[in-house]
Each structure stands twice: as structure tokens, then as C-alpha cells.
Amino acid sequence: MSTPPPLAHPPLTAAGKLLAVLGAFDGAHRRLNLTRLAERAGLALTTTHRIAAELTAWGALERRPDDTYVVGRRLWNLGLLAPVQSELGVVAAPFLHDLHAATKATVHLAVLDGARALYVDRVSGRWSVPIVSDVGSRLPLHTTGVGKVLLAHAPAEVVERCCADLVAPTRWAVTDADVLAGQLARVREQGWALTDQEMTPGAASLAVPVREAAGRVVAALGVVLAPFEVGSPVQQSLLAALRVTAAGIERCLPSQG
């Protein structure tokens, strides 16, 4: 019996092509020339050129003097209208600054975005610690404190996707799915996550969940600083500050009812 031919994918609509061009940009690809943009969008060069020109005229993309494209200000302004920015971001901002003032560490607020941690706000610390995240960055869930908090409370399919691609940015990163599963169980039990140089050498992170009124984890709050001893007074002090800050954010979150 012969094997049936694979099903053909339906052709992209005009909207699908436009979204493919916009989707070519991410945290690791912030500036693209036309050829690379077409490759990442999976479209013909002429089609990509036409769509990029239209998006540039509208303000969704910006064409630089070196003929590369970046996300335009108009698209960024639209993104700020999303609830994760307009509600959670506005509510959390003063608490993040208070936490930074108390700890002098870099403070992060992140949400789950597919199988990545999306950083929606950051207050830079004064300590000389290498930081790779920025507002709008998407980093692996298994290598950061905020990511492990989000992954510990994520749906099973998200955990599966993450475990299928356990990249190792540093030699300290966890690449064994069983080891990661044990860590996630402890995160759920103890209410916090700790990473030690798993994303960046010379940087540790400690994070706690932020929950809505019904108890669902909607974000993770974390600090990044130089590595410290587990169970040390430094950890206990940071953890107390994180929990107080998370509780303050939770009290001010709008009702989802």
C-alpha cells in the first residue's frame, strides 16, 4: 500500500504574510536586512520588499540608513496597549522601584509567552553584574529565576515544549528534564526559584510568583545580583523583600471577574 502524499499547507493570506514579516523580529533578531527578513518570514524577496515598504510607511517598521529594518515606534505604541503592559505594568512599576531601592539589585517582572519568559519591566541595579535581559526580551524558562517560577506553574504542554529544547547558555544550566522536573516541584512547594549562573556567568537570580485574586500565577518577580550562598542571610533578606513586593502588586491588580 503506497504512502499518501503529505498534505499541502494552504497558501498564506495577505494578513498571514504581513504577520510573517512582523514575526521575523524577536529578541535575537532586532535588526534585519531585506534578504534575512525574507528568509525568516519564509517569503519571496519581492513579496517581503513590498510588505516591508507598506509597514514602513505605516510606522510598524523603520528602515535604517544601512538598509536594515527594525520595529517601528507605532508598533511599539500598540504593544503598550496590551493588558500585560497597560494593567500589570502600571500596577507593578512603583513596587519594582521600591524593591530596587531596598536591594540595589536589578529587578525583573516577567510573564509567560509561549515557552519563553517575556520581560515586561526592568529596573537596573547598581551592582556590576552581567545582565542579558531587557524590556521586551524573551529568554528560556529553565535558565532564569523568573522563568522557573513561570514554568513551575505553566500548563503541561508548555513544560513539554521547554523540556524538548533545554539549551545550555552556560555550563551551569540544567539540561536534564528529570532534574528540571525536580526543581519545578520544589519551586511549587517552597514558593520561590533560585538560579546560579545558569543564564549568565557571574549572575544569580531569585524570584517569586505574582498571583491574581483567584490564585493563578500571572507573572514572576525577580532580582538579579552576584552569586550568593543558598540559605544565607542575603537570600533570606531578598526573599522577604520579594514576597512583600509581590503581595503589594497582587493587592493592586484589577479584578479578573
Residue 87: pLDDT above 50? yes
Q: pLDDT grade, residue 126 (50/70/90)? A: low
Q: What is the pLDDT of residue 11?
A: 73
Instruction: Pick the closest to residue 117 from 132, 91, 137 (CA basis).
Output: 137
pTM comes to 0.68
SS3 110: strand
User: 164 or 9: which carries more pLDDT confidence?
Assistant: 164
Q: What is the percent of the chain where pLDDT is above 90?
A: 52
Degrees to nearest 5, angle at CA 196 with 155 and 161: 25
Report the C-alpha gap between 20 and 94 in whole angstroms.
Answer: 36
CATH, domain 83-252, list 3.40.50.2020, 3.30.450.40, 2.60.120.10, 2.40.50.90: 3.30.450.40
On whether the 14-78 domain is CATH 1.10.10.10, my answer is yes
pLDDT in tens, 210-247: 998 888 999 999 999 888 766 678 788 999 999 999 99
Q: pLDDT grade, residue 104 (50/70/90)? A: confident
Question: Can you give the residue ranges of every domain in the chain?
Answer: 14-78, 83-252
* Residue 256 CB contacts under 8 Å (≥ 6 apart), including other chains: 212, 213, 214
| Mean pLDDT score, 30-57 | 94
Most confident segment among 125-129, 132-136, 146-150: 146-150
Report the C-alpha gap between 74 and 153 in whole angstroms.
Answer: 34
Q: What is the pLDDT of residue 81?
A: 62
**Cell numbers standing for residue 125:** 541595579
Is the Cα dihedral 70, 23, 76, 59 positive or negative? positive
Q: What is the pLDDT of residue 1?
A: 47
Per the CB < 8 A criterion, the answer to whether 227 and 96 are in contact is: no
Report the C-alpha gap between 57 and 126 in whole angstroms.
Answer: 40
Give 200's DSSP letter: S
| Mean pLDDT score, 48-62 | 93
SS3 91: helix
pLDDT in tens, 173-213: 999 999 999 999 999 999 999 999 999 888 889 999 999 88
**Cell numbers standing for residue 203:** 549572575
Please name the amino acid found at residue 45: L
For 217, other C-beta atoms within 10 Å of its C-beta total 18
Give 86's DSSP letter: I
- For the chain, the average pLDDT equals 86
Q: What is the percent of the chain where pLDDT is above 70?
A: 86
Q: pLDDT grade, residue 257 (50/70/90)? A: very low
Q: pLDDT grade, residue 136 (50/70/90)? A: confident
